[in-house]
Amino acid sequence: DLSGSYCGGIRKRSQRCYSYVQPHASYKVAVLGAAGDIGQPLALLIKMFPLVSALNLYDIADVKGVAVDLSHCNTPSRVADFTGASELADCLKGADVVVIPAGVPRERGMTPDDLFNINASIVKTLVEAVADNCPDALIHIISSPVNSTVPMAAEILKQKGVYDPKKLFGVTTLDVVRANTFVSQEKNLRLIDVDVPVVGGHAGITILPLLSKAKPSVTFSDEQVQELTVRIQNAGAGSATLSMAYAAARFVESSLRALDGDSDVYECAYVQSNVTELPFFASRIKLGRKGVEAVISSELHGLTDYEHKALETLKPELKASIEKGVAFVGSFI
Ligand code: NAI
């Protein structure tokens, strides 16, 4: 079986796998912000994927050393480095997937508005370049606050006339990764069996793990639900880099498998959505050759009272974050 997942588990027979799957390696992935604390380990993990033929690394900081280092790994993809704005277009040409961890993490003394204004400007520039150079690529946005940077990116792509809602994603995989890990620890389950959908958004109370929909089915007391929910929501209090890189790599791998024709790929992600009245919402999606193939709404039915209340409570905050992202672009017109 060669369809296994690197991020889902360690594969054995790796050497044989690489040589076997090499003919299929045909996708170009660009990482923007590749010199950063998330970008570097993310690039390493992507370098391991047999479906990747070209890995383009871009940063405003010098990324040559990272690229040379990675290029020595004997996996199929060719690594290239692109430093500074003048090399951005070349980095993006022909990309199938563009991952954006560029930005600044939240630092002491920084208000959420400060963080938003800095990162929004960075993401704006990068998404404009994506629109100009690889408008058909899947765009994975990691730069925070995702609740706002994704709707902002959508507005930019609309202005450029290339917006395809099926191809723009806020990466929320870390919430799912954390939820799966914590639930498996709590219930002593094999990690590989655990699947917890996480919906809403990607900050604080907008992150809503649906513990009642976990697979396998598990029961928790009300206190445990409250405790676990808050733990999943606040796990990122210190900035995550390695687990974020792992989670982002898993989302890249899923996207590539879907692009390559695997018809059974599901992930949670923050996308344009009509499962609630909000225009953007994270929920489980089915990925296909053209990006989002379906937004799954069924997991929002039959919620517990706790989940229902939490969903209604998060909506105003998420709505405000979406409006902030849209307004940011409006301020440039
Ligand atoms: P970092 O500061 O270590 O790396 C950011 C990189 O982006 C740096 O190499 C910097 O040179 C680069 N950069 C800055 N402006 C750029 C531009 N205009 N074009 C290209 N590259 C540019 O930060 P770190 O820890 O890697 O975090 C990156 C972003 O990811 C932050 O916004 C952080 O808040 C966010 N984050 C998101 C998570 C998620 O779950 N979505 C989880 C953790 C962090």
Q: How far apart are CA 272 and CA 275, in angstroms?
A: 9
Would you say the ipTM is above 0.95?
yes
Distance in Å from the first CA to the final CA of the chain: 52
Q: Which atom of ligand 1 is nearest to the CA of 240?
A: 43
Residue 151: per-residue pLDDT = 98
pLDDT tens column, 140-181: 999 999 999 999 999 999 999 999 999 999 999 999 999 999
Q: How far apart are CA 196 and CA 184, in angstroms?
A: 10
Task: State yes or no: is 202 an active-site residue.
Answer: yes
The pTM for the full model equals 0.93
Residue 10: per-residue pLDDT = 35
pLDDT tens column, 68-127: 999 999 999 999 999 999 999 999 999 999 999 999 988 888 888 899 999 999 999 999
Q: How far apart are CA 35 and CA 64, in angstroms?
A: 9
pLDDT tens column, 257-310: 999 999 999 999 999 999 999 999 999 999 999 999 999 999 999 999 999 999
Q: How far apart are CA 323 and CA 279, in angstroms?
A: 10
For 97, the token pair is 């997937």
For 157, the token pair is 């792509």
Q: How far apart are CA 283 and CA 316, in angstroms?
A: 17
Q: Is 244 in the pocket of ligand 1 (CB under 6 A)?
A: yes
List, in order, residues 6 or more apart from 165 with CB less than 8 Å away.
154, 271, 272, 292
Of 31, 32, 37, the residue with max ligand 1 atoms within 8 A of its CB, to mutate for a pocket test, comes to 37
Nearest partner of 320 among 107, 105, 113, 101, judged by Cα: 113
Nearest partner of 56 among 13, 98, 86, 91, judged by Cα: 91
